[in-house]
Structure 1
Amino acid sequence: MQTMTIPDYLNTYFSHFEPNLRTALAEGCTVKTFPAGEQLMQTGQYFKSTMLLVGGLVKVYRQGDDGGEFFVYHLEPGSACALSMICATKQEKSEVLATAVEDTTALLVPIAMMDDLMQDYKTWYYFVLETYRSRFEELLEVIDHIAFKSMDERLAYHLEKLSKQQGSKELYTTHQQIANDLGSSREVISRLLKKMEQHGKVLLQRNSIQLISAV
């Protein structure tokens, strides 16, 4: 299987960038791969680059003093992390963590390029603005679900979203991980999943959850 080059990644996932921008990024970026489970960002770290996702899936989340997790959003191929862009540009420490949900590939854009990219390329400028906007909307969605939805509704939505992002009806995740993402307990999530299974909406297996019908 032929390995993709940086221009290949840019042409595939960021074709909306103007040609000169893709050329500049191809000359200045590096490729890095992260195996599933590896952390891409840690709380308190400074950024030397921002990331353009070109493969895999990344979970961005906050961690409380008690070790509990609060899910913020996912990053998919063709996207970038707005929070890392802000921290990299302002040379501030990260306030979030990011972990590869599956094997992930990213293009690393050095912070030294950021100001020039914003000034010289309109498509980069609009990409950054759109990234900020879309991530803000995702944060509002999380807040809305916490404030106005019951836990069973939030669980159903979470499973459907994971299924779309992973392109599969079979989700390789644990009850504890779902509980972490939703700010709940494993016991509550297990009980709700069992109820969904009784209604024929999911099939609970040893290491996965299979969606059978719309949850």
Structure 2
Amino acid sequence: MIKELQANYGHIFEEELINEINQTGTYREVHEGHKLMEIGEYVKSMPLLISGVIKVLREDGDGDELLLYFLEHGDTCAMTLNCCMGHTKSEIRAIAETNAKLIMIPIQKMEEWLAKYTSWRNFVLLSYHNRLNEMLETIDSIAFLRMDDRLLKYLRDKARVTNDNDISTTHQQIAYELHTSRVVISRLLKKLENLGEIELHRNQIRLVNI
């Protein structure tokens, strides 16, 4: 675990902190689709992402989901930080978009390191800043972009974080994450295919024009 920590966080954290994370953190490997966090659960640890992609979603009163942002290697989740520090229940759902490797940090150490390590405090503040910007971008896309533009942005973001132009998903899953209907998504996907932006295959979408 120490080598992966140094490779992903060595440029951020000092050696003493890296060693503490190695001693107190819990290493986990999860498969695509694994639910790491559920709405309404108390959060007892914070994830440091070593590899893979995690998607973070919000749910409305009817049980419909909205994608907030993706986490990539070297990231952590500001919403998780907020729940951990405030000892409150989670308001988000976190699901592995791809196979992923993580190190889970106990709440007690998170609070201790804020006072002990400047690099940790800066990392936490930067994580809040980055996740806030991503959520503002999500709000902007809902408020100002047409659904076909939102869909294309969603596909491009997904291809970017997974580093793969072939996206394995269903029309229904996209509809859930963009908070719309499957019929609308299917119609817009066909429109994007006719425009030469994508190729549609069974449970797979290939981005052509990036």
TM-score, with length taken from structure 2: 0.96
Pick which of 17-26 and 129-138 moved more.
Answer: 17-26
SS of the aligned residue for 1:102 comes to: coil
Could you tell me which residue of structure 1 aligns to residue 186 of structure 2?
Answer: 190
Could you tell me which residue of structure 2 aligns to residue 11 of structure 1?
Answer: 6
Give the drift of 1:115. 1.6
Give the drift of 1:19. 1.1
CA distance in 2, matches of 1:99, 1:109: 18
CA distance in 1, matches of 2:37, 2:82: 14
CA distance in 2, matches of 1:61, 1:157: 17
Give the drift of 1:36. 1.3
Alignment of 1:75 onto 2:67: no
Could you tell me which residue of structure 2 aligns to residue 51 of structure 1?
Answer: 47
Residue in structure 2 matching 1:133, options 129, 136, 139: 129
Give the drift of 1:110. 0.6
SS of the aligned residue for 1:106 comes to: strand
CA distance in 2, matches of 1:50, 1:9: 17
Give the drift of 1:101. 1.3
Could you tell me which residue of structure 2 aligns to residue 109 of structure 1?
Answer: 105
Give the drift of 1:90. 1.6
CA distance in 1, matches of 2:174, 2:8: 29
Residue in structure 1 matching 2:62, options 60, 63, 66: 66
Look up the equivalent residue of 2:50 and give its one-letter code: V
CA distance in 2, matches of 1:207, 1:46: 34
CA distance in 1, matches of 2:45, 2:135: 23
Superposed CA RMSD in Å reads: 1.0
Unaligned runs of 5+ in 2: none
Could you tell me which residue of structure 2 aligns to residue 172 of structure 1?
Answer: 168
CA distance in 2, matches of 1:162, 1:71: 11
Look up the equivalent residue of 1:126 and give its one-letter code: N
For the 8 Å contact 2:98–2:162, the answer to whether it is kept is no
Could you tell me which residue of structure 2 aligns to residue 39 of structure 1?
Answer: 35
Runs of 4+ in 1 over 3 A off after TM superposition: none
Look up the equivalent residue of 2:175 and give its one-letter code: A
SS of the aligned residue for 1:99 comes to: strand
TM-score, with length taken from structure 1: 0.94
CA distance in 2, matches of 1:71, 1:169: 19
Unaligned runs of 5+ in 1: 1-5
Alignment of 1:121 onto 2:113: no
CA distance in 2, matches of 1:127, 1:22: 13
1:1-27 deviations in Å (ceiling 9; x for gaps): xxxxx2112111112211111111111
CA distance in 1, matches of 2:82, 2:35: 19
CA distance in 1, matches of 2:164, 2:178: 21
Give the drift of 1:67. 2.0
CA distance in 1, matches of 2:130, 2:53: 17
Look up the equivalent residue of 2:104 and give its one-letter code: L
Give the drift of 1:66. 2.0
SS of the aligned residue for 2:88 comes to: coil
SS of the aligned residue for 2:91 comes to: coil
